[in-house]
Structure 1
Amino acid sequence: MGLAMFRLACTLAVALTATTATAQQWADRMFTEKDVDFGAVPRAAKVEHEFVVTNPYKEDVHIASVRSSCGCTQPRIENDDLKTHESGKIICRFNTRAFTGQRGATVTVTFDRPQWAEVQLHVKGYIRTDVVLDPNHVDFGSLAEGEPGDKKIQIQYAGRNDWKITGVKSDSPYVTASVKETGRSGGRVGYRLDVKLSDDAPAGYLNDQLVLTTNDRRATQFPVAVEARIVPELTVSPASLMLGTVQPGQKVTKQIVVRGAKPFSIVDIRCDNDYLKFQPSEEAKQVHLVPVTLEAPEKPGKLACTIEIVTDLEDAKSVSLRATGQVAAPLAGK
């Protein structure tokens, strides 16, 4: 009996280990990368990295928590509930204000649905004290689509009198930069970094970085974060209009919101089906609330159409959204 119990315990232990390993692999596959090295970064600079996590499975995924082994890295979750093919982010900020020197952290991401698993991410970098940025990153703020941006940053170095910035590299085709020396005396060197955002930058959030190269052989380069929010000239919400499940002949009214950077009028609303009716205002204003009424057809089945809202803005600027729904089979006795 003792031998039998021992064999059973061994079998259960192996099964548990295999299940844990499978769950771990399942979670690992949602990440395309799990390690980042920031290299040498200036003191107090804004330094972040986004680890993207994508759900390739049929089940919904929930990120329960995230924690760091060191105060030098502050993690946070962006979008903790992930449906099939949806993505979220684990954003890790390097705490360059409170820490200096070589630092590293293990960031543990815990999942509790559809099953428990943990994934470990690794962050490291060297926070140098001889280079300071003012302000600590390039922030263009909110700009209208088509509007250029121009920002300046002061760079101060303390150390060798022959220290130089030898170049600036940008990975973004919309961001250009140049440096100009502003002072050199007693081991202190100053530069001004001029950064420009082109007027053809696409709408949305821009999160990028410049890489400045130097003649310092111990730390040949350091990054400068660049941020901007390009506000589109015209937006519509929701991005997708859900009509729900309705009975044949049923009427349902929803509302869409159309926003512009300046007052505008809606001149036409086009739809490739006739079961949707619209009631736009003829008044010119920045925000339009447009009632959308569904008159469900008699035939059961899926509903899907593209709605295009045409305005009097330059070049008849328009915005589109997709409307979807379902007409149920008639109730018994109807």
Structure 2
Amino acid sequence: MLRPAPRSCILERAFIPGRVRPLLLGVAAGLAGLLALPADGAAQIYYGTPIAGGRSFQGGPVAVATTRDDSWAKGLFSETEHDFGVVARGALTQHPVTIENTTDRTVHISSVGASCTCASGRVDNQTLAPGESTTLTLEMNTRQFHGKKDSNVIVQFDAPQFAEVRIPVQMYCRKDVVLTPGEVNFGAVEKGAGAERTVQIAYAGFAGWQIRSVEGGGKLLDAEVTETGRTASGADYALRVRLSPDAPPGPIRERLTLVTSDANNPKVPVLVEGEVEDDITVRDVDLGTVVSGQTKRFNVVLRGKEPFKINGIVCDGKAGDNFGMKLPDAERPVHVVPMEFTAPAGNGAYEETFTVDVEGREEPVVFYARGRVLGG
């Protein structure tokens, strides 16, 4: 593992005339990020072309590495490339990629960028303990760019050591089909209420173009498309999408496909997003990595649309004794329940299911606690 050298360590080895020092300071600052200067006589490893004479500044031999091994970081990704395919102009193009820390050390993502402005990426969490994971969301800009576009989303790590992973992304954005808005977004929907959204579709190209059908969505989405206007070189449609009242609580992420009469590019994808909210919501608990015998304290927050009372919380697994909690005794719209977890013996992933008995509510509220246990 390379160790960054102090910026001044080279210049302090010998006297340097004042008029030469400013020039060498700039050179030394650049070399300091590339060279790991070990003890005198030890081998020096760096990336680039060999130093003249094959010797380091400290007299030791030089080992040259022309490439950096980033395979450990690339192995953390569930996918290392993505093709969005043919998309309409203005369409929302997003794709989730899981980054899971399968190492035994903490991983830190220092930055997420892209090789051009037609692509971007973002992560939910930058620091991952062993066993933890996060979502990297890939996206391409269909509002300012059209035609064939290729780019790279660049993820850099600075712990446990420096690494860079480039994820190639591509799309073909057609400028003849425009979606307004660029997705079907239901937003927050109350459980049992259902919802409906409309997307306007404008086509400009050749006469006779048609949307023949809509595919996808499963049992929870009902989609229909209606022609609203036509010209000699174009057509307008309205896509109406209904969310079933039977949709369970949780996030909605689906993809509809418009099947058109275009023989070359017959299909146009449309992203569907939203969140179905229950009358009482609670987030699952991420315990992270806990050493056997160690106790970790955390809070569980339950939010209701109306004040409610908690009669009890039960751990459904066999390790209920590993959890402790203090139940609230009052009725209120938001409950903060202090809990603690003492990690059992063993190694590996850990998960428990909790059911919350709410006074007057037929169905219990369920949440999960997940983490990783390391044997002490």
> Is the 8 Å Cα contact of residues 167 and 213 (structure 1) preserved in structure 2?
yes
Residue aligned with 1:260, SS: strand
Task: Give the deviation of 1:10 after TM superposition.
Answer: 9.0
Structure 1 distance, partners of 2:133, 2:287, is: 21
Residue aligned with 1:12, SS: strand
Structure 1 distance, partners of 2:134, 2:141, is: 22
Amino acid at match of 1:130: D
Alignment of 1:40-79 (within 5 A): 40-79=86-125
Distance 1:39 1:256, change over 3 A: closer
Counterpart of 1:309?
356
**Is 1:145 aligned to 2:194, yes or no?**
no
Residue aligned with 2:362, SS: helix
Aligned partner of 1:37 among 83, 90, 105: 83
Aligned partner of 2:329 among 269, 281, 295: 281
Aligned partner of 1:12 among 57, 63, 66: 63
Distance 1:116 1:133, change over 3 A: same
Counterpart of 2:19?
none
CA offsets, 1:172-212, max 9 Å, x none? Answer: 55333221222222222111111122233332222232121
Counterpart of 2:268?
222
Amino acid at match of 2:309: S
Q: Which one has a larger percent strand, Structure 1 or Structure 2?
A: 1
Structure 1 distance, partners of 2:258, 2:152, is: 27
Structure 1 distance, partners of 2:275, 2:286, is: 22
CA offsets, 1:143-197, max 9 Å, x none? Answer: 1233322111111111112101122222555333221222222222111111122
**TM-score normalised per structure 1:** 0.76
Counterpart of 1:110?
156
Structure 2 distance, partners of 1:277, 1:90, is: 34
Structure 1 distance, partners of 2:370, 2:125, is: 24
Structure 2 distance, partners of 1:139, 1:91, is: 17
Structure 2 distance, partners of 1:323, 1:55, is: 15
Task: Give the deviation of 1:287 after TM superposition.
Answer: 1.8
Aligned partner of 2:307 among 263, 269, 274: 263
Distance 1:118 1:268, change over 3 A: closer
Task: Give the deviation of 1:121 after TM superposition.
Answer: 0.7
Task: Give the deviation of 1:321 after TM superposition.
Answer: 6.0
Structure 2 distance, partners of 1:100, 1:275, is: 54
Counterpart of 1:121?
167
**TM-score normalised per structure 2:** 0.69
Distance 1:161 1:313, change over 3 A: farther
Task: Give the deviation of 1:255 after TM superposition.
Answer: 5.8
Residue aligned with 2:63, SS: helix
Aligned residues: 302
> Is the 8 Å Cα contact of residues 280 and 291 (structure 1) preserved in structure 2?
no
Distance 1:6 1:135, change over 3 A: closer
Amino acid at match of 2:307: P
Alignment of 1:247-258 (within 5 A): 256-258=300-302
RMSD: 3.6
> Is the 8 Å Cα contact of residues 144 and 261 (structure 1) preserved in structure 2?
no
Counterpart of 2:18?
none
